[in-house]
């Protein structure tokens, strides 16, 4: 079994219709006699489709062998199968702009409201799946992520064999990242400043929290321009914690305009595009590991910064 760039086994199924196969880890306790027994237990609402997939040899083990109705469960093993994309997923009505493309990289300007990768109810309507389908790039993979509600520069690799080199840049914090945000203006807030805190995002909880302990998140905050009671800020994070910029600005008393999570969670319908989060990944810069050339990519999108009413 070959290994991916980060040591993970390569899936025995190819990308299909822009979607990776799902990898499921089998339980360690061996309480189920067969793989199918376990799958039916774990996903009872999908029993009919699971039986169809097994019968059609669409469920494979890590060696690429089709799972049958009688295949014994190997504790701690893995199986791979394609998930069915939602039949009612509504298209996010914003387009992705390509900023750069070469043999290794695809750099795009992601719009607000479009997920970077398939997750939850956003499967086909993600930047990754759209781009794989539209550009016929089945090995396309993001080397970092932007929140669904954040717009701006997103870097993807076009070939599996170069993915690790570019992901390593982000892992080693060798990428310079500049964001812009629109938030309230507080004349009493001394800027520029660097915000340090410990941010924790727990599974199943929508928001991240700042907790006591050693800092694991750092953001440089600069004031760019003031328009009435709002201002434009330049944000330079040196770490990449979930919701880091949103949490840090909120902690300064200036939550980002359009933020439905901080300081209070508001229930916004998934198809409500009326108030985009005013946060933009404006620029990414790094030394290309393939060429040694310094590369800088800049978003062409704009944030809304209306002057205060007269």
- Residues recognised as catalytic: 147
Helix axes 47-55, 35-42, angle to 10 degrees: 150
Torsion angles phi and psi, residue 51, rounded to 5: -65, -40
Which of 98, 288, 305 has its CA nearest to residue 183? 305
Residue owning tokens 């440089």: 220
Angle CA 14–120–199, to nearest 5? 110
The residue count for the chain? 310
- The Cα–Cα gap between 147 and 9 comes to 26
Cβ–Cβ under 8 Å, residues 111 and 301: yes
| Dist CA 295 CA 270 (whole Å) | 35
Q: Rounded to whole angstroms, how far apart are CA atoms 213 and 74?
A: 41
CA 75, CA 2: separation in Å to the nearest integer? 21
Closest alpha carbon to 28 in 79, 92, 75: 75
Strand-pair category, 230-237 with 294-298: unpaired
């Amino acid at each position: 079994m070959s290994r991916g760039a980060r040591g993970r086994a390569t899936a025995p199924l190819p990308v299909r219709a822009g979607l990776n196969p799902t990898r499921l880890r089998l339980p360690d306790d061996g309480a189920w006699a067969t793989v199918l027994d376990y799958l039916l237990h774990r996903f009872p609402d999908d029993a009919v489709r699971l039986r169809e997939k097994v019968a059609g040899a669409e469920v494979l083990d890590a060696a690429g062998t089709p799972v049958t109705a009688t295949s014994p469960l190997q504790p701690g093993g893995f199986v791979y199968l394609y998930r069915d994309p939602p039949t009612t997923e509504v298209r996010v009505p914003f387009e992705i702009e390509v900023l750069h493309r070469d043999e290794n990289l695809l750099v795009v300007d992601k719009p607000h409201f479009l997920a970077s990768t398939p997750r939850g109810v956003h499967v086909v309507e993600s930047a990754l799946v759209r781009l794989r389908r539209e550009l016929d790039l089945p090995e396309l993979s993001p080397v970092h992520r932007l929140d669904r509600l954040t717009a701006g520069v997103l870097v993807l690799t076009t070939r599996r064999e170069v993915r690790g080199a570019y992901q390593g840049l982000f892992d080693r914090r060798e990428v310079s990242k500049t964001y812009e945000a629109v938030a309230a203006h507080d004349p009493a807030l001394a800027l520029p400043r660097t915000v340090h805190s410990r941010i924790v995002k727990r599974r199943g909880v929508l928001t991240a929290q700042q907790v006591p302990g050693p800092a694991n998140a750092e953001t440089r905050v600069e004031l760019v321009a003031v328009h009435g009671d709002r201002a434009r800020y330049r944000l330079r994070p040196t770490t990449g914690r979930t919701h880091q910029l949103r949490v840090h600005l909120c902690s300064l008393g200036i939550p980002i305009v359009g933020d439905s999570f901080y300081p209070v969670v508001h229930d916004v319908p998934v198809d409500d595009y009326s108030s985009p989060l005013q946060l933009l990944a404006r620029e990414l810069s790094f030394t290309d590991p393939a060429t040694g050339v310094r590369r800088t990519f800049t978003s062409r999108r704009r944030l809304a910064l209306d002057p205060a009413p007269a």
